[in-house]
Protein backbone atom coordinates (compact mmCIF):
# COMPACT_ATOMS: atom_id res chain seq x y z
CA UNK A 1 0.00 0.00 0.00
CA UNK A 2 1.48 3.34 -1.10
CA UNK A 3 0.85 6.33 1.12
CA UNK A 4 0.34 9.62 -0.73
CA UNK A 5 0.00 13.02 0.91
CA UNK A 6 -1.82 15.79 -0.97
CA UNK A 7 -1.20 19.28 0.44
CA UNK A 8 -3.63 21.77 -1.07
CA UNK A 9 -5.27 25.09 -0.21
CA UNK A 10 -7.52 24.83 -3.24
CA UNK A 11 -11.01 23.35 -2.84
CA UNK A 12 -11.60 22.69 -6.56
CA UNK A 13 -8.36 20.72 -6.92
CA UNK A 14 -8.84 18.82 -3.65
CA UNK A 15 -12.38 17.76 -4.63
CA UNK A 16 -11.29 16.61 -8.07
CA UNK A 17 -8.21 14.78 -6.78
CA UNK A 18 -10.41 12.98 -4.22
CA UNK A 19 -12.68 11.78 -7.03
CA UNK A 20 -9.67 10.62 -9.05
CA UNK A 21 -8.08 8.94 -6.01
CA UNK A 22 -11.04 6.53 -5.79
CA UNK A 23 -9.99 5.05 -9.14
CA UNK A 24 -6.43 4.24 -8.01
CA UNK A 25 -5.80 0.85 -6.35
CA UNK A 26 -3.44 0.01 -3.48
CA UNK A 27 -2.94 3.64 -2.56
CA UNK A 28 -3.99 5.54 0.55
CA UNK A 29 -4.48 9.30 0.18
CA UNK A 30 -4.26 11.81 3.03
CA UNK A 31 -5.17 15.50 2.62
CA UNK A 32 -3.49 18.43 4.37
CA UNK A 33 -3.92 22.18 3.94
CA UNK A 34 -1.57 24.95 5.14
CA UNK A 35 -2.17 26.11 8.69
CA UNK A 36 -1.74 29.71 7.42
CA UNK A 37 -4.91 29.29 5.34
CA UNK A 38 -7.52 31.54 6.99
CA UNK A 39 -10.52 30.28 4.99
CA UNK A 40 -10.22 26.53 5.17
CA UNK A 41 -13.81 25.57 6.12
CA UNK A 42 -14.53 23.84 2.80
CA UNK A 43 -11.20 21.98 2.96
CA UNK A 44 -11.98 20.79 6.49
CA UNK A 45 -15.32 19.51 5.23
CA UNK A 46 -13.43 17.51 2.61
CA UNK A 47 -11.48 15.85 5.44
CA UNK A 48 -8.26 17.84 5.06
CA UNK A 49 -6.28 18.70 8.18
CA UNK A 50 -4.01 21.72 8.88
CA UNK A 51 -0.22 21.41 8.73
CA UNK A 52 2.55 23.93 9.25
CA UNK A 53 5.46 23.14 6.93
CA UNK A 54 7.69 25.52 8.91
CA UNK A 55 7.68 23.10 11.88
CA UNK A 56 10.37 20.42 12.06
CA UNK A 57 7.98 17.99 13.75
CA UNK A 58 5.54 18.33 10.83
CA UNK A 59 8.33 17.60 8.32
CA UNK A 60 9.53 14.61 10.37
CA UNK A 61 5.99 13.23 10.60
CA UNK A 62 5.49 13.62 6.84
CA UNK A 63 8.81 12.06 5.84
CA UNK A 64 8.36 9.10 8.19
CA UNK A 65 4.78 8.38 7.09
CA UNK A 66 4.40 8.99 3.35
CA UNK A 67 5.98 7.69 0.12
CA UNK A 68 5.16 10.74 -2.00
CA UNK A 69 3.96 14.32 -1.37
CA UNK A 70 1.93 16.25 -3.94
CA UNK A 71 1.45 19.99 -3.64
CA UNK A 72 -1.72 21.20 -5.37
CA UNK A 73 -1.65 24.98 -4.81
CA UNK A 74 -0.18 25.00 -1.32
CA UNK A 75 0.19 28.38 0.39
CA UNK A 76 3.48 27.38 2.03
CA UNK A 77 6.77 26.83 0.25
CA UNK A 78 8.13 23.30 0.67
CA UNK A 79 11.30 23.59 2.81
CA UNK A 80 14.56 21.90 1.64
CA UNK A 81 14.27 19.47 4.58
CA UNK A 82 11.11 18.07 3.07
CA UNK A 83 12.13 18.21 -0.61
CA UNK A 84 15.48 16.50 0.02
CA UNK A 85 14.04 13.62 2.05
CA UNK A 86 10.97 12.54 0.08
CA UNK A 87 9.77 12.73 -3.54
CA UNK A 88 7.72 15.93 -3.85
CA UNK A 89 5.65 16.88 -6.90
CA UNK A 90 3.95 20.22 -7.59
CA UNK A 91 0.87 21.01 -9.65
CA UNK A 92 1.34 24.62 -10.70
CA UNK A 93 -1.12 26.94 -12.49
CA UNK A 94 1.52 28.28 -14.91
CA UNK A 95 3.50 27.07 -17.93
CA UNK A 96 7.01 26.74 -16.46
CA UNK A 97 9.45 28.34 -16.88
CA UNK A 98 7.31 31.34 -17.90
CA UNK A 99 5.96 33.55 -15.13
CA UNK A 100 6.89 31.19 -12.31
CA UNK A 101 5.60 32.26 -8.90
CA UNK A 102 2.48 34.24 -8.13
CA UNK A 103 -0.64 34.30 -10.29
CA UNK A 104 1.03 33.34 -13.61
CA UNK A 105 -1.98 34.14 -15.83
CA UNK A 106 -2.08 37.73 -14.51
CA UNK A 107 1.47 38.31 -15.71
CA UNK A 108 0.93 36.40 -18.98
CA UNK A 109 -1.95 38.73 -19.94
CA UNK A 110 0.43 41.66 -19.46
CA UNK A 111 3.75 40.35 -20.78
CA UNK A 112 2.45 37.96 -23.45
CA UNK A 113 4.46 34.97 -22.15
CA UNK A 114 2.71 31.58 -22.49
CA UNK A 115 0.16 30.50 -19.86
CA UNK A 116 -0.97 27.03 -18.81
CA UNK A 117 -0.26 24.47 -16.12
CA UNK A 118 2.67 22.24 -15.18
CA UNK A 119 3.29 19.13 -13.09
CA UNK A 120 6.90 19.10 -11.97
CA UNK A 121 9.30 17.71 -9.41
CA UNK A 122 9.95 20.14 -6.57
CA UNK A 123 13.52 21.33 -6.06
CA UNK A 124 14.98 24.13 -3.93
CA UNK A 125 13.66 26.91 -6.20
CA UNK A 126 10.07 27.99 -6.70
CA UNK A 127 8.17 26.37 -9.61
CA UNK A 128 11.50 25.25 -11.00
CA UNK A 129 12.08 21.47 -10.87
CA UNK A 130 12.11 18.99 -13.76
CA UNK A 131 8.88 19.02 -15.77
CA UNK A 132 6.73 15.87 -15.91
CA UNK A 133 3.81 17.21 -17.98
CA UNK A 134 2.32 20.53 -19.01
CA UNK A 135 -0.53 22.04 -21.01
CA UNK A 136 -0.51 25.44 -22.70
CA UNK A 137 -3.67 27.58 -22.53
CA UNK A 138 -4.30 30.27 -25.15
CA UNK A 139 -5.21 33.75 -23.91
CA UNK A 140 -7.80 35.64 -25.98
CA UNK A 141 -7.98 39.44 -26.34
CA UNK A 142 -11.03 39.75 -24.07
CA UNK A 143 -9.93 37.26 -21.38
CA UNK A 144 -9.69 38.49 -17.81
CA UNK A 145 -7.51 36.80 -15.17
CA UNK A 146 -10.56 34.83 -14.00
CA UNK A 147 -11.39 33.58 -17.53
CA UNK A 148 -7.85 32.25 -18.00
CA UNK A 149 -7.60 30.89 -14.44
CA UNK A 150 -10.81 28.85 -14.84
CA UNK A 151 -9.46 27.24 -18.02
CA UNK A 152 -6.10 26.62 -16.33
CA UNK A 153 -7.77 24.85 -13.40
CA UNK A 154 -9.73 22.55 -15.73
CA UNK A 155 -6.52 21.80 -17.63
CA UNK A 156 -4.81 21.01 -14.32
CA UNK A 157 -7.46 18.40 -13.48
CA UNK A 158 -7.10 16.87 -16.94
CA UNK A 159 -3.30 16.80 -16.57
CA UNK A 160 -3.52 15.24 -13.10
CA UNK A 161 -5.96 12.57 -14.31
CA UNK A 162 -3.57 11.68 -17.16
CA UNK A 163 -0.47 11.55 -14.96
CA UNK A 164 -1.38 10.67 -11.36
CA UNK A 165 -1.13 6.89 -11.82
CA UNK A 166 2.25 7.20 -13.57
CA UNK A 167 3.54 9.54 -10.87
CA UNK A 168 2.47 7.20 -8.07
CA UNK A 169 4.09 4.21 -9.83
CA UNK A 170 7.19 6.35 -10.53
CA UNK A 171 6.83 5.57 -14.24
CA UNK A 172 7.53 8.93 -15.86
CA UNK A 173 10.36 10.94 -17.29
CA UNK A 174 10.99 14.47 -16.09
CA UNK A 175 12.90 17.02 -18.14
CA UNK A 176 14.59 20.20 -16.93
CA UNK A 177 13.00 23.38 -18.30
CA UNK A 178 14.85 24.81 -21.32
CA UNK A 179 15.64 28.02 -19.44
CA UNK A 180 15.31 29.63 -16.02
CA UNK A 181 12.39 31.68 -17.34
CA UNK A 182 11.14 34.44 -15.09
CA UNK A 183 9.67 34.72 -11.60
CA UNK A 184 7.05 37.09 -10.14
CA UNK A 185 6.54 37.61 -6.43
CA UNK A 186 3.45 38.63 -4.47
CA UNK A 187 5.17 42.04 -4.16
CA UNK A 188 5.27 42.29 -7.98
CA UNK A 189 1.51 41.56 -8.04
CA UNK A 190 0.80 44.19 -5.36
CA UNK A 191 2.86 46.76 -7.31
CA UNK A 192 0.78 46.07 -10.44
CA UNK A 193 -2.37 46.75 -8.45
CA UNK A 194 -1.29 50.33 -7.62
CA UNK A 195 -2.48 52.31 -10.64
CA UNK A 196 -0.50 55.45 -11.50
CA UNK A 197 -3.01 57.89 -12.97
CA UNK A 198 -0.19 59.83 -14.66
CA UNK A 199 1.26 56.82 -16.43
CA UNK A 200 1.54 57.17 -20.23
CA UNK A 201 1.18 54.04 -22.32
CA UNK A 202 -0.90 52.69 -25.22
CA UNK A 203 -4.60 52.23 -24.47
CA UNK A 204 -4.12 48.56 -25.41
CA UNK A 205 -1.56 48.15 -22.62
CA UNK A 206 -3.84 49.93 -20.14
CA UNK A 207 -6.73 47.59 -21.08
CA UNK A 208 -4.43 44.58 -20.75
CA UNK A 209 -3.38 45.70 -17.28
CA UNK A 210 -7.00 46.07 -16.17
CA UNK A 211 -8.12 42.70 -17.55
CA UNK A 212 -5.09 41.06 -15.94
CA UNK A 213 -6.24 42.51 -12.61
CA UNK A 214 -9.91 41.62 -13.10
CA UNK A 215 -10.68 38.40 -11.27
CA UNK A 216 -14.30 38.06 -10.14
CA UNK A 217 -14.92 39.84 -6.85
CA UNK A 218 -11.24 40.40 -5.94
CA UNK A 219 -10.43 44.07 -5.39
CA UNK A 220 -7.08 44.34 -7.15
CA UNK A 221 -6.38 47.47 -9.24
CA UNK A 222 -6.83 50.76 -7.42
CA UNK A 223 -5.76 54.38 -7.18
CA UNK A 224 -6.22 56.71 -4.23
CA UNK A 225 -8.47 59.78 -4.16
CA UNK A 226 -7.72 63.12 -2.49
CA UNK A 227 -8.89 61.69 0.88
CA UNK A 228 -6.38 58.86 0.45
CA UNK A 229 -9.18 56.33 0.01
CA UNK A 230 -8.76 53.52 -2.46
CA UNK A 231 -10.85 53.57 -5.63
CA UNK A 232 -10.94 50.01 -6.99
CA UNK A 233 -11.27 49.28 -10.70
CA UNK A 234 -12.04 46.16 -12.66
CA UNK A 235 -13.00 45.88 -16.32
CA UNK A 236 -16.07 44.53 -18.11
CA UNK A 237 -14.91 43.34 -21.52
CA UNK A 238 -16.64 41.22 -24.17
CA UNK A 239 -16.54 40.44 -27.86
CA UNK A 240 -19.58 40.93 -30.16
CA UNK A 241 -21.36 37.68 -31.06
CA UNK A 242 -21.53 38.40 -34.83
O1 LIG B 1 -5.30 28.01 -5.46
P2 LIG B 1 -4.87 29.38 -5.76
O3 LIG B 1 -4.52 29.61 -7.18
O4 LIG B 1 -3.63 29.83 -4.89
C5 LIG B 1 -2.94 28.96 -4.03
C6 LIG B 1 -2.40 29.78 -2.88
O7 LIG B 1 -3.44 30.53 -2.30
C8 LIG B 1 -1.30 30.69 -3.35
O9 LIG B 1 -0.71 31.28 -2.20
C10 LIG B 1 -0.24 29.89 -4.12
N11 LIG B 1 0.78 30.78 -4.64
C12 LIG B 1 -0.92 29.14 -5.27
C13 LIG B 1 0.05 28.29 -6.05
O14 LIG B 1 -1.93 28.31 -4.77
O15 LIG B 1 -6.05 30.32 -5.25
P16 LIG B 1 -6.11 31.86 -4.89
O17 LIG B 1 -7.52 32.12 -4.55
O18 LIG B 1 -5.07 32.26 -3.91
O19 LIG B 1 -5.78 32.57 -6.27
C20 LIG B 1 -6.48 32.24 -7.45
C21 LIG B 1 -6.46 33.40 -8.40
O22 LIG B 1 -7.22 34.44 -7.84
C23 LIG B 1 -5.08 34.02 -8.66
O24 LIG B 1 -4.43 33.38 -9.76
C25 LIG B 1 -5.41 35.45 -8.96
C26 LIG B 1 -6.72 35.68 -8.23
N27 LIG B 1 -6.55 36.54 -7.05
C28 LIG B 1 -6.32 36.00 -5.82
C29 LIG B 1 -6.16 36.82 -4.72
C30 LIG B 1 -5.92 36.24 -3.34
C31 LIG B 1 -6.64 37.90 -7.22
O32 LIG B 1 -6.84 38.36 -8.38
N33 LIG B 1 -6.48 38.72 -6.15
C34 LIG B 1 -6.25 38.24 -4.89
O35 LIG B 1 -6.14 39.03 -3.93
The phi, psi pair for 176, rounded to 5°, reads: -60, 145
Q: What is the pLDDT of residue 208?
A: 98
Nearest-angstrom CA–CA distance, 9 and 240: 37
Nearest-angstrom CA–CA distance, 100 and 212: 16
Give the closest residue (by CA) to ligand 1 atom 14: 73
CA of 127 to the centre of ligand 1 (A): 15
47 Cβ contact list (under 8 Å, min separation 6): 31
Stretch(es) of the chain classified as CATH 3.40.50.170? 2-183
CA of 186 to the centre of ligand 1 (A): 10
Nearest-angstrom CA–CA distance, 154 and 235: 24
pLDDT tens, residue by residue, 52-100? 999 999 999 999 999 999 999 999 999 999 999 999 999 999 999 999 9
3.40.50.2020, 3.40.50.170, 1.10.3210.50, 3.40.50.150: CATH of 2-183: 3.40.50.170
CA of 215 to the centre of ligand 1 (A): 10
Kindly report the pTM of this predicted structure. 0.96
Q: Is the CB of 100 under 6 A from ligand 1?
A: no
pLDDT tens, residue by residue, 155-189? 999 999 999 999 999 999 999 999 999 999 999 99
Kindly indicate the confidence band of residue 242, based on its pLDDT and cuts at 50, 70 and 90: confident
Amino acid sequence: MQKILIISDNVFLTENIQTLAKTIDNTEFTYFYSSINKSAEALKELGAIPANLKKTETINAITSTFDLVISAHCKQIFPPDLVNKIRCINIHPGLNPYNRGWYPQVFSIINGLPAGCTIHEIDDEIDHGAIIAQTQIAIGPTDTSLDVYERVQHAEIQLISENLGKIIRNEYTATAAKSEGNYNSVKDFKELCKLDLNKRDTLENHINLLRALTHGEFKNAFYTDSDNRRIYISINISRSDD
